[in-house]
Every structure is written in C-alpha cells, then in structure tokens.
Structure 1
Amino acid sequence: MQVLVTGAAGFIGSTLVDRLLADGHTVVGLDDLSRGRTENLAGACASGGFEFVEGDIANADLIGLFEKHKPEVVHHLAAQIDVRRSVEDPEFDAEVNIVGTVRLAEAARRAGVRKVVHASSGGSIYGAPKNYPTNESTPVDPASPYAASKVAGEIYLNTFRHLYDLDCSFIAPSNVYGPRQDPHGEAGVVAIFATAMLAGRPTRVYGDGSNTRDYVFVDDVVDAFVRASGAGGCGQRFNVGTGVETSDRALHTVVAKVVGAPDTPEIAPARLGDLKRSCLDVRKAEMVLGWQPQVRLEEGISRTVDYFRG
C-alpha cells in the first residue's frame, strides 16, 4: 500500500515511517524540517520503499504531490506544536494547523485517498475537564490556540467526510515520549530530564510537582495510527494513552532511577497556564481498534534513556 506521512521527520512521524516500512508499505514522507530532523529518517532513506519530500503543508504543492504518488492512506502529523508560540502568534498557528489541514484534505479528496488519519491532541483539547480519566464524549474546551486548531482540524476533516466521503479518523494522544523526542522543546519532559541527567546538568520541577500527565510510549501511539488506517472508526476520535496519571515529581524519580542520577530537582515557581491534571480513558480505542498500550512507563523510559546515551 502507498502511504503518505506528513511531519515524517519528527519524533512520532519518523517512528511511524519505520513501522509502515517494516509492515511492507511504500511510504512518502513530507516535512519542512522546521522541527524534524533528517537523521530520524536515516534508516528509512536507506530502504528501497521510502521517498522524502521537503515541503510545508501550508505552502507546498499538495495537489501535485498527491497526484504524483497517489497515496491510499495519509497519516497527517505535520503541525505547529508549540503551545506558547500559538498564544504569542495565533495567526501562524492557524496557518499551519488549520489552513494546512484544509489544503491537505482538499488534495486528498481530489486524489481519491481512501483514509486520512489525523493527529489531534488528547492532552490539550479537553482543557481542564471535571472527570478523569477523560473520555471522547467529554466536551472539547481548548485553552490555547494550538488546542483550538487541533479541534478545527477534526471539524474540517469531518466536513470533508460529509461532503466528499473522505474517510478520516483522529488519534488524540496524551503525553507521548520515547526515542527521538526533542529534548529542547517545551513538552518533552522525559527527554528533557533524561538528557540533563545524563549530562550532569540540573533538572527542574515546577510548582509542588503534583501536576499529573498520562505518559504513553511512542511505539504504542504509532500502533494506534496504523490500526486507525483500517476500515473502522470512520469520523471518530480515539484517545490514546494509558489511563494512568504520573506526577511531575514521580516522573523525575523514575527517570533518575533509570539513569542512575540523583533525584534532586530544583523547585521552580509554577508556570501560568499549566494544566493541573491530564489522563485519558482509552477504552474506545480498545473496543473499536483493538488497541492497548503495551509499554509500561519504566520500560519506556529505559528505552528512551538508552537512545539518548547513544
């Protein structure tokens, strides 16, 4: 099967490319390399079944790209993912995440794509809900332009489904971690802790360390994308996490144990706008996609630390 992956040089996208190639598919990867790294695709480029195209979904000739390669399935992961930048420059965020997604949907429906699997954001689109773990029937309540743009992407793709029968599903991961994660971004706390500890640099926990997140390993997220590319789940969102809350302070302890470093973070003031809790109910993905998380936190952190050790 011919598959197109946008955001292919990123942390999750490149891992998905490797999985698709291992499954025997032919893959085209699109990335503007603003955050993605070509070294993430070294193995893919060495294979005979992968082609890389450098381009921005907001500006690239997507219709020409789709007509040339005729993908059957599109995994759409390209995005502006910096929440704070979305607050500072919401127009840029919308240009990439909303306009880029609309342009992709238009190219996909013209090319006769069978299905688009879109990366949403389970960690942000629900805001601060009343119930945890949070399921897909929870009303969306975006608290940032980034979260709003992810919801808008879902709505636009579902509109194309109604108008043009373009099949689509939405994967809404919690906090993804694993090899290739960017240790310099704002969201990759596992990578940030691991690289700092390995280098002997100080680490930092904000507030009292009680904020919780639902950490899911990248291979498990990729498996959800692959499963969602089938016939099931048309027009539906699937939360992808573990259903387990881990506090910032507890996460630091686990990473320190795996690295063999002191569990002595600096305590910094709480950051304005940080969510107090985040945890996803993943039973829908289990029932519809047959998906379940396989990698426990300590195992996943061990594999992540091994990657950063080189």
Structure 2
Amino acid sequence: MKIMVVGGAGFIGSHVVDAYIQEGHEVIVVDNFSTGKRENVNKEARVYELDIWSDTEQLESVFRAEQPEIVNHHAVQKSVPESVKNPVFDAKINILGTLHLLDLSVKYNVQKFIFISSGGALTGEADHIPTTEEMDPQLISPYAISKYTIEKYLHFYHITFGLNYTVLRYANVYGPRQAGGGECGVTPIFMNNLLNDQPSVLFAYSDMPKGTTRDYVYVEDVATANVLSISKGDHSIINIGTGKEVFTEDLYCLAQSIIGKNIPLIREKERTGDVKRSALDCSRAEKLLGWKANTPLNEGLVKTFISMRTASGQQTQ
C-alpha cells in the first residue's frame, strides 16, 4: 500500500516508516523538520518538506500527486508545558493542522487515517491503574484537550464522510533516535547525563519519594502496532503500552546498572501539573490488533544505550 507518514522524520515516526517499508509498503514522508532529523528518514521513502498548518497548498499538491491509501499522523506539538504557555500555537498544530489532513484525506479518498493520541495525558490522575480506554479523560492541559478533540473529530469524519480510522494512545515511548527533552525524554536525558558523568534531577512527591510512575514501551513494539493498524482496529481507540508502572528512580537505577556508573540523583519537589501515576491497560490492543509489547524494559534500555553510545562515537562493550 502507499502510506503517507506525517512526522516521519521524528523519533517514533521514523521507526514507523522503517516498519512499513520492511513490510513492503510504499512510504511518503511529510515533515517540516522542526524537530525531526533527515538522518532518521529511511532512504527508500520519498520526502516532502512542508508544514501541515501553514503550507496548505503544497500539502494538497502532495495528496494530489501521491494519492496515498493510508495517512499515518505522527506530527505534533508534543510538549505539555509548551501547550500551557501557548495554547493557541498548540491548537494550530494539533487541531487545525490535523483538520487540514482530514479534509484532504476525504477529498482524495484515503482508505484509513491512523492518528497518534496520548494515553498518559488523557488519563491524568486516574483512580484505577492501569487505565482503560473507557475512562473519562482528564483534560488538564491544552495538549490533552487537542488530542481528545481530534479523537472526536475522527468520529465525526467517519459518520459524516465514511473515513475509516484507528486511534493509538501511546504510553511513554522510548528507544533509539529519541532526543532528550520534556517528560517523554527522561530516558535519553538520564543516559546522556550518565554517559557524560553528570547528575540527573528526580522530581518527587512527599508520599512518592521515588518519583512519578510511567508506562515505558519500546519504540519498535510501537511501530509494530502501527503496521497492524493498517488492516485492524477500525473505528477504535486503542492503548499502546505495557500496563506496568515504573518509578522514575527505578528507571534511573536500571540505566545506571546498564551503563556501569553510579551518580546520585539530585532530588527536587514535584513539578506543577505532573501526573503522579500512569500506566495503560492494553488488553484491547491484544484483542483488536493481536498486539502486545514484547520488549522487556531492561532489553529495550540496553538497545537504546548501544544506539546512543554508537551515535556519540564511543565504543560499546
């Protein structure tokens, strides 16, 4: 099939591109390279550099020329703190930019739209962990609002125009090519600091001295879910994670053991707006997609470390 991956130069999107190409699909990458990297993009993919929000005429010309059968949407303003500071910008990229893609998908007869949402941002402070897709979303940031808004728009486009879709709500994805920065970048932040003999900061609550908990899922497992979503999970919202809570301090200790260094954490008080606990119930993914996370955290972190160390020019042992 011919698949357009929007945001295909990014950390997760580029792995999805690789997985699609490995399965024999023809892939078109659309990316503005604001955060994505050209070296991430598979050489077999055709690349269009443009912005889905501002370059609407160019975007339509790509749809007209390529006639994609599947649109996979990974382009996003992904920072929760930035969405709080600048909700208008967040809405432009995450809502209006996505609506441009949806309109063009209908106009050019796209068979399916795969949208990447956020499990952690939408669940907030859940009463039950791991959380299911049925839980009422906790819309405590513009980022969460924008993701949930598009989920509702997808339902509208389906019942009104017949556009098929699958929503994948990711847990905290980690792995090779991930850049440090923000909560989702805690794994490369820890590893970069350890490689450079620098301390890391742990934000912790008085009743949770080991920090927050998160559900860490390896990027190649996530890419597999995107492959399966081509033909499965129609009109569904599906969690993609492991269902396991991991304390931030435990993640750091595991990274220390892998890298072979012991650098104490700097402990600070919790950050405003942080979700204390998060993990996703992924039984629906197994039922509808035949998917489950197969990479243990230790194994995924070793692969991530080897990739980071190779990229930095250091020898692996």
**TM-score, L = length of structure 2:** 0.94
Q: Which aligned runs of 4 or more in structure 1 are off by greater than 6 angstroms? A: none
Which residues in structure 2 correspond to 1:167-178 (within 5 Å)?
167-178=164-175
Aligned residues: 304
Hey, what does 2:159 align to over in structure 1?
162
CA distance in 2: counterparts of 1:268 and 1:102, whole angstroms: 40
How far apart are the structure 2 equivalents of 1:179 and 1:204? 22
Q: What residue is the counterpart of 2:54 in the other structure?
A: 59
> Are the counterparts in 2 of residues 2 and 72 from structure 1 also a CA contact under 8 Å?
yes
For 2:243, the equivalent position in structure 1 comes to 243
Which residue identity is paired with 1:56?
Answer: D
Q: 1:202 is aligned with what amino acid?
A: P
- SS of 2:122's equivalent? coil
Taking the TM superposition and a 5 Å limit, the aligned residue runs for 1:101-250 are: 101-207=98-204, 208-230=209-231, 232-250=232-250
Measured against aligned partners, the alpha-carbon deviations of 1:172-229 in whole angstroms (never above 9, x if no partner) come to: 0100000000113442101110111011111111122231000000011111111111
Distance in 2, matches of 1:187 and 1:280, equals 15
Q: Is the 8 A contact 2:7 2:13 kept in 1?
A: yes
Unaligned runs of 5+ in 1: none
Q: 1:7 Cα deviation (Å)?
A: 0.6
Distance 2:219 2:81 in 1: 23
Q: Give the superposition deviation at 1:39.
A: 1.3
Match of 2:315 in 1: none
Structure 2 unaligned blocks of 5 or more: 311-317
CA pair 186-131 structure 1, distance change in 2 beyond 3 A:
closer
Distance 2:119 2:46 in 1: 30
Alpha-carbon distance between aligned partners in 1 of 2:178 and 2:94, rounded to the nearest angstrom = 20
Q: Deviation at 1:28?
A: 0.5
Aligned-residue sequence identity (percent) comes to 37
- Residue 117 (structure 1) shift: 0.4
- Indicate conservation of the 8 Å contact 1:57/1:100, yes or no: yes
Query: CA–CA distance in 1 between the matches of 2:257 and 2:52?
Result: 41
Amino acid at match of 1:157: L
- Specify whether residues 111 and 103 from structure 1 end up closer, same or farther in structure 2 by C-alpha distance, changes over 3 A only: same
Query: Which has the higher mean CA deviation after the structures are superposed, 267-276 or 81-90?
Result: 267-276
CA distance in 2, matches of 1:269, 1:278: 19
CA contact (8 A) 1:213 1:247 kept: yes
Deviation at 1:123, TM superposition (A): 1.1
SS at match of 2:252: helix
Deviations, residues 145-185 of structure 1 (Å, cap 9, x unaligned): 00110001111121111111000010001000000001134
Deviation at 1:29, TM superposition (A): 0.3
Say yes or no: does 1:85 pair with 2:82.
yes
Structure 1 range deviating more: 113-122 or 256-265: 256-265
Which amino acid is 2:52 matched to? I
Partner of 2:264: 264
RMSD: 1.0
- SS of the equivalent of 2:15 reads helix
Deviations 1:253-280 (A, max 9, x none): 1011111110521112211111100010
- Partner letter of residue 182 of structure 1? A
Write the distance in 1 (CA, Å) between the matches of 2:182 and 2:123: 22
Letter in 1 for 2:307: Y
Q: How does 1:9-88 map to 2 (within 5 A)?
A: 9-41=9-41, 44-45=42-43, 47=44, 50-60=45-55, 61=57, 62-88=59-85
State TM-score, norm by structure 1. Answer: 0.96
